[in-house]
Amino acid sequence: MAAAREIKDKIGGIQNTQKITSAMEMVAASKMRKTQDRMREGRPYATRIRAVIGHLANAAPEYRHAFMEDRAVKKVGYIVISTDKGLCGGLNVNLFRTLVKDMSEWKSKGIDSQFGLVGNKAISFFNSFGGEVTATVNHLGEAPSMNDLIGGVKVMIDAFEDGEIDRLYIACNKFESAMTQTPEINQLLPLLAEDDEEIKHRWDYLYEPEARELIEGLIERYIESQVYQAVVENSACEQAAKMMAMKNATDNAGSLIDELTLLYNNVRQAAITQEIAEIVGGAAAV
């Protein structure tokens, strides 16, 4: 019966794991709702301000901000937004894979990259991967505030202003649905012109009061809102991915338990049959 005992212990162990994963699934599901709300609330502002900035980049303004100059690319910067905790399936790995692919494309043209990292997972990835990391931010929690982020982001923006980097991208996961999250790399700086044929001709805004002041304020808002939205979106992705990962783990544990139970019954039955055979054999010998 030693084998049966061993199997029984194993089943017990898996059942404990299953309890934990199913609890984590439920926690992730309830957190997902909250993070999703946060993401939805911020989306309209982020999209609208991106459209306004798109128009602005198309215009021929009297005042050209440094962020509007499309310079020859010698170095690119990435703001990488990852999660703080693991156990969320392939979410971070997919993002890093997309990022590395993008980077090696630049690399093949002889262009280096530098990174501003958000989240523990990106930090530990770049620890082993190498690469020039200039800023890190972690432990943002579930309700990230712009204040916690701004320091790390400022480093990258200053690098752009000083001409250290000539492009700034933001890499994060986009929340499509609870089932799918896709890694995305979006250009943050220089400002991207919107492809709109209607407003292609040369024109400029009327500015009230001064163009410079206004554009600076607007760009600052724009960067803040894009980064914040990316972080919020990524945290919604994290919870959704975690929920799926934990659901799969719970299901897998269930099927493993079924298999082991079958095996356990077989072994037990075999042992009983053997005992009976021994008794019958013994009686016949007497």
Partner 1 sequence: MAMTMHCNIVSAEKEIFSGRVTMLVATGSLGELGIMPGHAPLLTGLRPGPVRLLMDNGEEEVFFASGGFLEVQPGITTVLADTALRADDLDEAAAIEARDAAEKGVADQGAEFNFSVAAAQLAEASARLRTLDELRKRKR
209 lies in the binding site for partner 1 (CB under 8 A) = yes
Rounded to a whole number of angstroms, the minimum distance from the CB of residue 208 to partner 1 is: 4
Give the integer Cα–Cα distance in Å for 207 and 210: 6
42 lies in the binding site for partner 1 (CB under 8 A) = yes
Rounded to a whole number of angstroms, the minimum distance from the CB of residue 41 to partner 1 is: 5
Please identify, among the stretches 125-133, 196-204, 241-249, 255-263, the one whose residues bind partner 1 according to the rule CB under 8 A.
Answer: 196-204
**Long-range contacts of residues 97-102, Cβ cutoff 8 Å, at least 24 apart:** 97/183, 98/171, 98/183, 98/184, 98/185, 99/171, 99/183, 99/185, 100/129, 102/169, 102/171, 102/185
Candidate list 14, 93, 100, 214; residue touching partner 1; CB under 8 A = 214
> What's the chain's length in residues?
286
Nearer to partner 1, 162 or 195 (CB): 195
Nearer to partner 1, 42 or 90 (CB): 42
Give the integer Cα–Cα distance in Å for 230 and 49: 14
Nearer to partner 1, 44 or 141 (CB): 44
Candidate list 2, 72, 206, 286; residue touching partner 1; CB under 8 A = 206
Structure tokens at 21: 């994963």
In 3D space, the residue among 113, 42, 44, 56 whose CA is nearest the CA of residue 80 turns out to be 113
Nearer to partner 1, 55 or 268 (CB): 55
Q: Which residues pair with 79 in a beta bridge?
A: 116, 170
Nearer to partner 1, 78 or 175 (CB): 175
Nearer to partner 1, 195 or 208 (CB): 208
36 lies in the binding site for partner 1 (CB under 8 A) = no
Q: Among the residues of 109-191, which ranges form H helices? A: 120-129, 146-161
Distance of CA 124 to the CA centre of its chain: 14
Candidate list 221, 256, 268, 271; residue touching partner 1; CB under 8 A = 221
Candidate list 204, 258, 259, 275; residue touching partner 1; CB under 8 A = 204
Give the integer Cα–Cα distance in Å for 261 and 263: 5
Structure tokens at 255: 């099927």
Is 175 in contact with 39 (CB distance < 8 Å)?
A: yes
Pattern 46-65, partner 1, x by CB under 8 A = --xx-xx--xx--x------
- Residues near partner 1, by CB under 8 A: 41-42, 44-45, 48-49, 51-52, 55-56, 59, 199, 203-209, 211, 213-215, 217-218, 221, 225
